[in-house]
Amino acid sequence: MKNIIYIISVIITFNGFAQDKDVSIDSLFCKKIKKININDQKYRKLLQDPFFKVYDSVVKSQGFDNLREYAKVTSKSDMLKNGRIARKITSKLPKMPQRVFDSIMDLQIIEDNKNTELLIDIINKRGYPNVNNCNCPPKELNFLIVFRHSQTKYFDEIRTLIEHEYKAKRLPEKKYKLFLDHINGRTGKGL
């Protein structure tokens, strides 16, 4: 009887360790996905048009905390008027020199290549990350659009992967079309 209790205790203990190991593997995987998303915008965010930040400031100066609240109660003509104000302000800001822009974009391309290679590796091992094959928060998975920024040297491999993943129902149709559009030259057809 003691032996049976001992064996059951050992099984329960090791089973608990195995579950903890799986959770930590998934946790590490989710951290990797989050890092991919962060690196996808690492330098790109420095290149964004300041219009949207200025527009947010104009909206906040009118007593609104967020754009959704503002959009619900503001007429289209007032929104356009505030847009013109924001554009006027941003037009007076200094422009980024082209060589600075190009240097920042070169850094982002290095990150994009790393992300592309990492996502290709993940897909080859696990399939396209989605709520059915990993325990990552849906928010992290929704923003996973690395292939939208991939370079042409990866297009053939990406096309093969996304077609396979789409047919296997691991890649949502919307992302499939988005990635395919990028590979096909961003024509916007079929989106």
Q: Three-state SS across 99-134?
A: HHHHHHHHHHHHHHHHHHHHHHHHHHHHCCCCCCCC
Give the pLDDT of residue 156.
97
The answer for residues whose C-beta is within 8 angstroms of residue 167's C-beta and 6 or more apart is none
Give one DSSP letter per residue of 11-30, joined into a string.
HHHHHHHHHHHHHHHHHHHH
The pTM (predicted TM-score) of the whole model is 0.73
Task: Give the 3-state secondary structure of residue 87.
Answer: helix
For helices 155-167 and 173-183, the axis angle rounded to 10 degrees is: 160
Q: What is the pLDDT of residue 136?
A: 85
| Regions in the chain scoring below 70 on pLDDT | 1-25
Nearest-angstrom CA–CA distance, 50 and 95:
10
